[in-house]
Structure 1
Amino acid sequence: MGVKAMTTENTGVWVNDQKKIAAIGVHVQRYITSHGLALNCNTNLDFFKEIVACGLIGKETTSLSQELNDPHIDVQKVIPTFLNGFSATFNRTLVPIAQSNPELQEQIMEYIEKGSVTYTDDTRIDRL
């Protein structure tokens, strides 16, 4: 998207080693691992002025819209570019989950909408 960013000794992706534009996270609980990433597209950065993000004093948080000086940058515009880069970096062809595993797609949507999923064996997962 034209933003020069890099990794550093600090977790995440940084612009000029001072402003965090993307974060990664891993969570382990009850034998379940989850992981994710956040790329700040057009995030309201005012909230970050009230905290010391990641415990790193003197660092800031930024977004694509701020770095590109374009308030029209949003997640929907960024997703295709992100997916192409992800696919190239990991040398993998990405397939929509609805195409590869429709049942899992339904469970994910149920989880998002209701905060829980009940499986066919009557087990249930609730949002923590």
Structure 2
Amino acid sequence: MKIIDLGLISYKEAEALQLKTLEAVTAGSEDNTVFILEHPKVITLGRQGGAENLHMDEALLAEHGIELAQTTRGGNITCHFPGQLVAYPIWRVEKRPGGMRKFFHDMEEAVMNTCAHFGVQTIRRPKHPGVWVDESRKICSMGIGVRRWVTYHGLALNIGSDVSLFNAITLCGIQGAVPTSLSAEAGQEIDMKDAKNVFEKEFRKAFTDSEMVTHQAAK
């Protein structure tokens, strides 16, 4: 796999790069690729909608320098901003045992182990993809798209303590869900570079372990 750090990049630029890489991975001319990055302030709507969970009109969003984007990922409404670690795996899932459920499990595993590295314990919630600190506090959102058995879009893990952009939405359309972050839960500001380094290690471990199990099962 390749993991590429894009730094701070606009949503539209990252989406175009995802689609270009999606075609290459699908064609077999590129390895599975993971982009890690941060976005300027943007609120995104999923295939299932989410506009009903937006609390600001587009004029007010523009006034505050917040982009609004329709996406092709699953899930409802969410937002991205500097201080949030975004990861977009462009990944072949056709021959992975467990299908999409296992793919989500492995993404969650990488996030949960990253959080644990900084002393933050997390949980899964059935029927709510992503990672939670408890039944109400959500630290990481997930939503993907799939074309010809190759994934794109991915996950967003809140690192910095400022998650105020979430005030503009009902988080993922889930009543009672409250955003939190790695820094808030750890009780200290976590450096983004450190978080990226740990996440990259944990992502490689989660997906390499899965691939090893796949190969063993195929024997």
TM-score, normalised on structure 1?
A: 0.61
Q: How does 1:1-128 map to 2 (within 5 A)?
A: 1-9=118-126, 10-27=128-145, 34-42=152-160, 44-71=162-189, 73-91=190-208
Q: Is the 8 A contact 2:123 2:131 kept in 1?
A: yes
Q: Is the 8 A contact 2:161 2:184 kept in 1?
A: no
Could you give the per-residue CA deviations for residues 59-106 of structure 1, whole angstroms, max 9, x where no partner exists?
A: 1011101111112x13211011111211221226xxxxxxxxxxxxxx
User: Which residue is 1:102 aligned to?
Assistant: none
Which structure's relative contact order is higher, taking Cα pairs within 8 Å and 6+ residues apart? 2
Query: Which whole-Å CA distance do the structure 1 matches of 2:206 and 2:119 have between them?
Result: 17
Could you give the per-residue CA deviations for residues 24-68 of structure 1, whole angstroms, max 9, x where no partner exists?
A: 121358xx8522211111052112123211111111011101111
Which has more strand, going by share of residues? Answer: 2
* Structure 2, gaps ≥5 residues long: 1-117, 210-219
Change (3 A) 1:82 1:33: closer
Q: Secondary structure at the match of 1:24?
A: strand
Bigger-Rg structure (1/2): 1
Change (3 A) 1:89 1:28: closer
* Structure 1, gaps ≥5 residues long: 93-128
Query: Which whole-Å CA distance do the structure 1 matches of 2:139 and 2:151 have between them?
Result: 24
Q: Secondary structure at the match of 1:57?
A: coil
Amino acid at match of 2:143: G
Q: Structure 1 vs Structure 2: percent identity of aligned residues?
A: 36
